[in-house]
Structures are given as C-alpha cells and as structure tokens.
C-alpha cells in the first residue's frame, strides 16, 4: 500500500505556525494541502545515543522550517536513487493534513517497507496529498534499520544497550509524538491507524507485540508482512561474529560507537554468507527477548493486541516479485524459511509440493515452488495472526471494547 504522490500546480504558500512538544514549526500549503516535512521526533541516534532507546527530541529555538525531507537512516541495501542523503540525524517524520485548524480528523501512520534493512518515509511515492484530500492526517516516518536498529548487544554489553528492536522502538516513539502533537495538525489522537506493507507490515505486527505500544494505536492494517523474528541465541551469534570482524571486545561500547555506520553496512555481505547458520531466517530482525517477549505471530494467542482493530492480508502470488528480482529462489532466504516451516510441521517437502500440484494444476514446477515459498513466508503467518484474533478477540475479560477482524479471501 502506498500513499500516492501529489501534483504541485502552484507555488507553495507558508502554513500557519504550529506548536509541538519540541518547538514551533512552519510548513507549506501545496495545492490546498498543508504539509510539514522533516520534523525531528527524537534525538540523533548516534554518538552517546547509539544503540539506545530513542530519546524524545529536545526543544529548539525559533521556528523550524518544515519544508524539506530530512536525512534518511543508514541503509543496508535497497534503492537510494531519488532519496535524501543518509545521515545521523535521521529520526524525523512528515505530516500531511487538510487543515491544521480542523479537529477530530482520523490519523494514519505509514510504516515503510524494506525488510528492516532499507526504506524511508521520505520517499516521494509516499506523498500524503491524496490522503489529506480525503480528510485524513497522514504521517510517514523514518526508523533505524540494519545493525543500527536490530544488532542485539544486551547479552554482551549490558541491559538496554542494543536491545535488538530499536527500529520498532523508534516506531513507538513516532506514535508517542502523534499522541502528544497530532491535535495541532487537526488529527484525533484517539483514532490512530498504523499501516504498513512488507517490512512495514512486519514492523507493524512487531510493534503490537512490543512492550510500550499499548494504547498508542487503535487500528492496524498489515499487508504482506513477512512476520519473522530473531531468536536471542542466533542474534547473539550475529553480534559475536561482527565484533570479531571489527576486533572489538564485548562490553567496549565506546569503541563500537566510534565505528562508522558505513563500516557496518560493508560487513553485511559477510554476515549474509553465514545467514543459513546465524540468521533465523534473516540477519536483522526484531529479537524475541524481554522487550518483545513473544513472537509477533503469537501475540494474539498471548492476549496481546486484542483491543486493536485488524485488517490483514497478503497477495496470492507474493513470491513472484522476488523471483523476478533474484537470480534464483533456490537456497534463498525464502526457501530456507519455507523448509524450516515444513520441517516443523512434520511433513516432507515432497508432500507439500504434491499438495500444491493437486490444488493448482495450471502451474509449472517453478510457479509451484514460488507459490509454496510465498505462502509459507507471507500467507501462513498472516492467517495465524488472523485466526488468533478471530479465536480470542472476544474472550479476554480484561479487554476494552471489541476487536473487529477482516480476512481478505483468495
């Protein structure tokens, strides 16, 4: 799902000055829509703040010009053409609103895709003009990615240092900013929808499963999320491998913080070569630990997020896109994950392929293979989440309100 780009048929006009919890800012009115770009919501996550939970942005003096996208978070792969530069002061967000003097408008917060290693809310394809014209206050944002967001340091560096889910904590900080400030943009903080696709869908579900997110989001739209997570032991093995490559001793956080982020990006290829034994199934994913105690897919079965309204779904042939982009799907991360799921089920790979052939006789061998990979990576976890809400959505005595569930067919 994407926020469509807006057309600019006239010169921008200045918006009224808006007050936020960190200071005043002024955006632009473009084709009748008020937009505010590059608003910092947290302190730069580098230097003394590196691998720590996001710190709310300190106050600035004067009026901040919110007329250009801010820096994007360091990327571990992905397409960077046409995007702002990467930079350390990257925790910023963007707002589009029909009219900041309105009140009670629904709010939607977009979590970008990119597999937790790339992507940004500052891409032009996520321009929120059309949402604002439909009466919605739209927020897009950046969050930490790759090693900066998901390197699991706590077992080796102490509590709260690199908890393995800083990208998800950043997304929680965005929702906290929305709760504090969105009224000043015409939005209703009690009507907030978090929505995302692919890595953004996975991040949305991981946020629901993460402590500290409760009460900040009221509806979620989870599209095509590959809802994988790292186990603490494999995540720690990844960290040990990286520290060895950097010749840094466990606990020496000051030295690690001095390593340029580009150096960690360069190490990603060597980590990927060990992905089959280290990453389960990927290198950089939210880690199951005290901060996110349960696998995101299991959240509804643990009574988590049952007060949140859900719209969740996948596409029928999800893996076809990746098949077109990758040299081969054999032995890919999608294949390895599918084999893990099949092995855990007690079936054999041949059993699964034979069943798919009987259900979809029109497909050739390659298409059958891709269908299995796409379903086991995307559709099966989505169905499990949906079934958890359908089963437990009305059974918890501690719930507030009702949980509504929509499961797309096909």
Decide: 75 and 118 in contact? Cβ < 8 Å.
yes
One digit per residue, the tens of pLDDT, for the chain of length 410 reads 344 444 455 789 999 999 999 999 999 999 999 999 999 999 999 999 999 999 999 999 999 999 999 999 999 977 788 899 999 999 999 999 999 999 999 999 999 999 999 999 999 999 999 999 999 999 999 999 999 999 999 999 999 999 999 999 999 999 999 999 999 999 999 999 999 999 999 999 999 999 999 999 999 999 999 899 999 999 999 999 999 999 999 999 999 999 999 999 999 988 877 766 665 678 999 999 999 999 999 999 999 999 999 999 998 888 887 877 778 888 777 888 888 888 888 889 999 999 999 999 999 999 999 999 999 989 999 999 999 999 998 644 343 334 444 444 33
Cα separation, 259 vs 300, whole angstroms: 39
Q: Report all structural domains of the chain as residue ranges with CATH numbers, in order of start.
A: 13-305 (3.40.50.1820)
Cα separation, 33 vs 266, whole angstroms: 41
Decide: 271 and 264 in contact? Cβ < 8 Å.
no
Kindly provide the b/e burial profile for residues 185-204, where b requires at least 16 CB atoms within 10 angstroms of the residue's own CB.
bbbbeeebbbbbbbbbbbbb
Tokens found for residue 277? 């034994």
Backbone phi, then psi, for 311, in 5-degree steps? -125, 120
Tokens found for residue 247? 């010749």
Decide: 72 and 83 in contact? Cβ < 8 Å.
yes
Decide: 100 and 18 in contact? Cβ < 8 Å.
yes
pTM value is: 0.90
Write the DSSP string, 329-392.
STTSHHHHHHHHHHHHHT--HHHHHHHHHHH-TTS-HHHHHHHHHHIIIIIHHHHHHHHHHHHH
Number of helices and strands in the chain (H, E): 15, 13
């Amino acid at each position: 799902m994407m926020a469509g780009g807006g057309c600019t048929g006239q010169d921008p006009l200045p918006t009224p000055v808006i007050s936020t919890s960190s200071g005043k800012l002024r955006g632009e009115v473009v084709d009748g829509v008020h937009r505010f770009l590059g608003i910092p919501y947290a302190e730069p996550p580098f230097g003394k703040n590196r691998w720590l939970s996001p710190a709310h942005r300190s106050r600035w003096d004067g009026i901040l010009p919110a007329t250009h996208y801010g820096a994007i978070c360091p990327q571990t792969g992905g397409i960077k053409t046409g995007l702002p530069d990467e930079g350390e002061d990257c925790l910023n967000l963007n707002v589009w609103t029909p009219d900041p003097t309105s009140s009670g408008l629904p709010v939607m917060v977009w979590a970008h895709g990119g597999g937790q290693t790339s992507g940004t809310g500052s891409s032009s394809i996520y321009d929120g003009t059309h949402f604002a014209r439909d009466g919605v206050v739209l927020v897009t944002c950046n969050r930490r990615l790759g090693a900066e967001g998901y390197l699991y340091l706590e077992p080796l560096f102490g509590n709260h240092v690199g908890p393995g889910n800083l990208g998800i904590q950043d997304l929680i900080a965005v929702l906290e900013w929305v709760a504090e400030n969105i009224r000043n943009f015409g939005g209703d903080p009690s009507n907030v929808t978090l929505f995302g696709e692919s890595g953004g869908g996975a991040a949305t579900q991981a946020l629901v499963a993460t402590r500290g997110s409760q009460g900040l989001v009221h509806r979620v739209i989870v599209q095509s999320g590959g809802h994988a997570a790292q186990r603490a032991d494999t995540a720690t093995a990844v960290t040990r491998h990286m520290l060895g490559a950097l010749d840094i001793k466990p606990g020496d956080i000051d030295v690690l913080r001095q390593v340029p982020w580009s150096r960690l990006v360069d190490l990603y290829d060597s980590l990927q070569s060990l992905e089959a034994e280290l990453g389960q199934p990927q290198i950089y994913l939210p880690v199951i630990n005290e901060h996110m105690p349960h696998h995101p897919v299991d959240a509804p079965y643990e009574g988590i997020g049952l007060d949140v309204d859900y719209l969740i779904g996948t596409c029928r042939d999800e893996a076809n896109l990746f098949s077109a982009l990758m040299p081969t799907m054999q032995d890919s991360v999608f294949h390895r994950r599918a084999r893990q799921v099949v092995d855990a089920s007690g079936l054999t790979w041949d059993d699964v392929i034979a069943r798919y052939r009987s259900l979809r006789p029109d497909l050739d061998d390659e298409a059958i293979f891709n269908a299995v990979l796409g379903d086991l990576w995307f559709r099966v976890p989505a169905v499990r989440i949906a079934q958890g809400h359908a089963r437990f959505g009305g059974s918890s005595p501690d719930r507030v309100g009702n949980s509504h569930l929509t499961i797309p067919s096909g």
